[in-house]
Amino acid sequence: MLYRETGQFKTSYSADQAIFPIFQDRMFILGWLIVAFIAVPLMASEYWFQIILIPFLVFSLATLGLNILVGYCGQISLGTGGFMAVGAFSAYKLATNVPELNIIFVILISGLITALVGILFGLPSLRIKGFYLAVATLAAQFFLIWMFNKFGWFVNYSPSGSIAIPPMEIFGVMVTSAKADPVARYYLALGFTVVLALLAKNLVRGPTGRAWMAIRDMDIAAEIIGIKPLATKLKAFAVSSFFIGVAGALYFSAWSGTAESDAFDINLSFNILFMVIIGGLGSVVGSFMGAAFIVLLPIFLTNLFVGELGFSALTAKHLEITIFGALIIFFLAVEPHGLARMWQVTKEKLRIWPFPH
């Protein structure tokens, strides 16, 4: 209905293969970018930045990372929390030990370090598949967390065992630590998220993405048409971990400002996995939807139960968990491919409106 594609024809492959070939889509994305970069900073309050917007961005990025691995390459991972921790702690070490390094590079390098760790734990994926692999990633999860709180070196031997990001600047604007203006921290997170999201989109619609999806859909056939399983999977692990690492670094530097290893425990891993599932396996835009959903839901529920209905915090928490679980089951039953698929279906409907098919 909104989609009027008559007269949109392509006279070259580069036009046909553009990242958003349909005019209306381009407008749509543009709209969102304007909102994110201009409207939001003008309107949002401190609370919004701290409780909703920045975590949303951070988790979107992490979700995107995990989605590349699970959704595109079909390799289950329960180690996301651990990898985010790697990102966070690398950022901490870099920021404290190499103060002259610009925060942007701090974050990027943290991502690269995480990528290496990811590759390391991805190696078994050549021989093991499915749930077996999930266990391998669990090993990563528990080992890494254990490592971070057992070895003082990672926290510069601070007795509390927790780490805090020093104030850092970009072009003289302070962007990290409690002293920084939330807007600045928001822009930091937003910048990384948007750029990386675009890169991810390009990756998954290109040869790399095709190789991943081939492995996902039918690894045997994939190998028989000449796709190297290990190399392909490791690429997925690397890229995925890089994204997650950057997310971890942002979690720490742009959002929480302080952290301790337990913040990145197995539950975080599961949360991110839920964001992927509910957002939609194998979808970039879905990763954002999933993150938004899971970030907003608890806030909404808490406000509802405690705020409106006046339940005890404890009951509220339990109710929350229950509803959370129920929703997940519901989603899987109704639309196993998540919000992204729903969006896609609606979009298709809009394109062929008023016809049903």
Judged by CB under 8 A, the chain residues 127 through 186 that form the site for another protein are 127-128, 130-132, 134-136, 138-139, 142-143, 145-146, 150-151
Kindly state whether residue 343 participates in binding another protein, applying the rule CB under 8 A: no
- If the CB atoms of residues 104 and 328 are measured against another protein, the closer one turns out to be 328
Kindly state whether residue 77 participates in binding another protein, applying the rule CB under 8 A: no
- If the CB atoms of residues 138 and 174 are measured against another protein, the closer one turns out to be 138
Q: Roughly how many angstroms between the first and final C-alpha of the chain, as a whole number?
A: 13
In angstroms, what is the minimal distance from the CB of 317 to another protein? 8
- The contact mask relative to another protein for 297-336 (x = CB under 8 A, - = no) is ---------------x-xx--xxxxxxxxxxxx--xx--x
**Residue 281: CA count within 13 A, CB half-sphere:** 20
Q: Binders of another protein: how many residues, by CB under 8 A? A: 93
Kindly state whether residue 224 participates in binding another protein, applying the rule CB under 8 A: yes
- If the CB atoms of residues 249 and 281 are measured against another protein, the closer one turns out to be 281
Which residues fall within 8 angstroms of residue 296, CB to CB, at 6 or more apart?
52, 56
Helical H runs in 154-283? Answer: 182-205, 207-224, 229-250, 266-279
CA separation for the pair 228, 53 (Å, rounded): 40
In angstroms, what is the minimal distance from the CB of 124 to another protein? 6
Kindly state whether residue 26 participates in binding another protein, applying the rule CB under 8 A: no
Kindly state whether residue 16 participates in binding another protein, applying the rule CB under 8 A: yes
In angstroms, what is the minimal distance from the CB of 187 to another protein? 22
Q: Supply the DSSP string of 63-89, one letter for each residue.
A: HHHHHIIIIIT------HHHHHHHHHH
Using CB under 8 A, which of 108, 199, 297, 304 touches another protein?
199
Distances (CA, A) of 103 to 10, 106, 173, 244, 317: 42, 5, 11, 17, 36
From 59, 49, 53, select the one nearest 268 (Cα to Cα): 59
CA 73 vs. chain centroid, Å, equals: 15
- If the CB atoms of residues 60 and 208 are measured against another protein, the closer one turns out to be 208
